[in-house]
């Protein structure tokens, strides 16, 4: 069956989605007939304004897209934002894209910075994607982020799994220090981390977190999807990087970064960054 629709496929997580917002914006402005998005619904629905429909990739009906069994369905055009190092997905999906498939590599390869390596450079992920759009004749448009900075501080401690993290106990000590100084401060609890802090807040749904972010603030966290979400929502971000190049991966919007490999990241340093942000 032929579908006379454009389908955009993005299989990234929260941070990847936030960094791709300008790409969503640009392609939605270019293809006026509307786009159907396929990916993880929990994240994609944050960007529903850019699409005429959103499909859940976990649904069994999409399995043929990722298997050797062809479904026989074709689309007017496929837009794929992702990583495809072997070219397998592009080869498969080009066959079901009647018009020339658009492939936007999600991020550059040189993302890691070795300890002691001072080199910073290359494209930020947002610019990296937008530059590729130009090669398809699509005008690159950055989605403006309206700053929403207030005199409250939100700390987001989390456990490290795949990435190294500034230890969550440091966030608890920072919380106590800021409270003692009379600064309005919250702890936003992350999944999988049980902490006993009176007044800590937790939300199951991202739209509830967005509602919490509506009051603005200064968001302090490790490099994480939530940091990118906070930046996209206009909060001032203070982001602690351990493995990745902050030049490439820093959250969009206003903010600053510190690097564990180069800076002496302690309570005093983060407090000084917060003090600077409170003056913004």
pLDDT digit string (tens) for 131-162? 999 999 999 999 999 999 999 999 999 986 65
> Does 142 reside within a domain?
no
Q: Which domain holds residue 197?
A: 152-278
Give rounded-to-5 percent helix, strand, coil for the chain. Answer: 35, 20, 45
Number of domains present in the structure of the chain: 2
Which tokens in the block code for residue 230?
A: 């906070």
Name the strand (E) or helix (H) holding 255: strand 255-259
CA–CA distance from 244 to each of 164, 171, 224, 239, 259 (Å)?
10, 20, 11, 11, 9
Which tokens in the block code for residue 124?
A: 């930020």
pLDDT digit string (tens) for 245-269? 899 999 999 999 999 877 789 999 9
Question: Where residue 24 sits, what CATH number does that domain have?
Answer: 3.40.50
Between CA 19 and CA 47 the distance in angstroms is: 12
10 and 125 fall within a common domain: yes
pTM of the model as a whole: 0.93
> Does 245 reside within a domain?
yes
CA–CA distance from 139 to each of 25, 45, 108, 142, 185 (Å)?
10, 24, 21, 10, 41
Question: Where residue 210 sits, what CATH number does that domain have?
Answer: 3.40.50.2000
């Amino acid at each position: 069956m032929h579908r006379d629709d454009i389908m955009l496929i993005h299989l990234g997580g929260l941070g990847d989605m936030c960094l791709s917002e300008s790409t969503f914006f640009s392609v939605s402005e270019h293809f006026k007939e509307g786009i159907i998005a396929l990916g993880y619904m929990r994240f994609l629905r944050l960007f529903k304004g850019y699409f005429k429909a959103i499909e859940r990739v976990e649904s069994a009906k999409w399995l043929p897209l990722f298997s050797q069994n062809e479904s026989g369905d074709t689309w007017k055009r496929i837009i794929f934002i992702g990583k495809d190092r072997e070219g397998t997905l592009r080869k498969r999906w080009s066959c079901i894209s009647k018009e020339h498939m658009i492939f936007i590599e999600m991020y550059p390869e040189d993302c890691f910075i070795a300890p002691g390596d001072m080199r910073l450079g290359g494209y930020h992920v947002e610019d990296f994607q937008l530059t590729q759009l130009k090669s398809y004749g699509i005008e690159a448009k950055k989605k403006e982020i309206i700053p929403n900075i207030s005199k409250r501080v939100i700390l987001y401690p989390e456990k490290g799994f795949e990435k190294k993290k500034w230890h969550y106990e440091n966030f608890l000590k920072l919380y106590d220090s800021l409270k003692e100084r009379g600064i309005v401060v919250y702890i936003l609890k992350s999944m999988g981390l049980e902490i006993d802090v009176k007044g800590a807040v937790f939300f199951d749904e991202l739209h509830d977190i967005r509602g919490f972010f509506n009051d603005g603030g200064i968001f302090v966290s490790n490099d994480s999807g939530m940091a990118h979400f906070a930046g996209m929502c206009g909060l001032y971000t203070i982001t602690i990087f351990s493995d990745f190049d902050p030049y490439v991966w820093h959250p969009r919007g206003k903010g600053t970064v510190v690097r564990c490999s180069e800076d002496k990241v302690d309570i005093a340093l983060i407090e000084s960054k917060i003090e600077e942000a409170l003056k913004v």
